[in-house]
Structure 1
Amino acid sequence: MTATAVNTTAVDLEQPLQDVESCLNLLGEALHRRDSAAIELHAASLHLALAQAIEQFTAAARNGTVPASLRTRLMQAGGRVAAQRESLARATAALDRAIDVLMPGEPTGLYGASGKNERKSAFGGSIQA
């Protein structure tokens, strides 16, 4: 592959990679601020940017070589996505636990505090023989 072709590939791949990195930065800031509207917006933008970047990197890899520096940056961006996903999963789990404490679900025992049966039958009443 000629030097001109490698430079053209690098130029073609630079913009989608910058878009991914920019979306990651904006999403990271929104996560830090705990701004749910911004998180939704930037997560959707990141999803689109990643899809476009992967498509272009895949096409470039089929037609020749992807410059090592851009490949490394794409792998780093993938690592940042994984880290943000993990952080968000931990925050979601903590929120779920807090909600369970504040708003417990339906009782799971057979008897309530008054000693009455809390199970509901399929017919809405008590079981009769």
Structure 2
Amino acid sequence: MTATPLTTTSVDLEQPLQDVESCLNLLGDALHRRDSQAIELHAASLHAALARAIEQFSAAARTGTVPQGLRTRLMQAGGRVAAQRESLARATAALDRAIDVLMPGEPSGLYGASGKSERKSALGGAIQA
């Protein structure tokens, strides 16, 4: 079995894609460690690497020369970005809920400006008669 020779386009696209994959790995590790400074650093690096890769891939796509293997890897990287974004969104929502439990909002009184009760029942809604 012989390897497919690398074209100039393949070589040009390989490095930006490797940069994206590397940044994704570093960001994933930082998320796993819950290291906020590393998350910020690697998220910024990933943003820049994605911008470079998309620019390179877009230019290559205009000439119709993006190899299928690199296209597949870029799609997989996009899936990993989406998964990390979802993971971060879930962690943020969990943190927001924990903060709400630990630091509930100040009660504003028994009645709102419209005269309706602002207190909530045990079921979470106002009781209607």
Tell me the TM-score range normalised by the shorter chain: 0.7 to 0.9
CA distance in 2, matches of 1:77, 1:109: 51
Q: How far apart are residue 108 of structure 1 and its match?
A: 4.4
The equivalent of 1:79 in structure 2 is: 79
Q: How far apart are residue 12 of structure 1 and its match?
A: 0.1
The equivalent of 1:31 in structure 2 is: 31
Q: How far apart are residue 106 of structure 1 and its match?
A: 2.2
The equivalent of 1:89 in structure 2 is: 89
List 4+ stretches of structure 1 deviating above 6 A.
none
Bigger shift: 101-110 or 53-62?
A: 101-110
Letter in 2 for 1:101: V
The equivalent of 1:45 in structure 2 is: 45
Deviations 1:43-95 (A, max 9, x none): 00000000000000000000232000000000000000000000000000000
- Give ranges in structure 1 of 5+ residues lacking alignment: 112-129
More helix by share: 1
The equivalent of 1:7 in structure 2 is: 7
Question: Are residues 1:17 and 2:27 paired?
Answer: no
Question: For the pair shown, which has the larger CA radius of gyration, 1 or 2?
Answer: 1
Q: How far apart are residue 109 of structure 1 and its match?
A: 4.5
SS of residue in 2 equivalent to 1:30: helix
- Give ranges in structure 2 of 5+ residues lacking alignment: 112-129
CA distance in 1, matches of 2:80, 2:109: 44
**Number of residue equivalences:** 109
Q: How far apart are residue 17 of structure 1 and its match?
A: 0.1
Q: How far apart are residue 107 of structure 1 and its match?
A: 1.3
RMSD, matched Cα? 1.9
* Alignment of structure 1 residues 62-77 onto 2, 5 Å: 62-77=62-77
TM-score, length of structure 1 as denominator length: 0.80
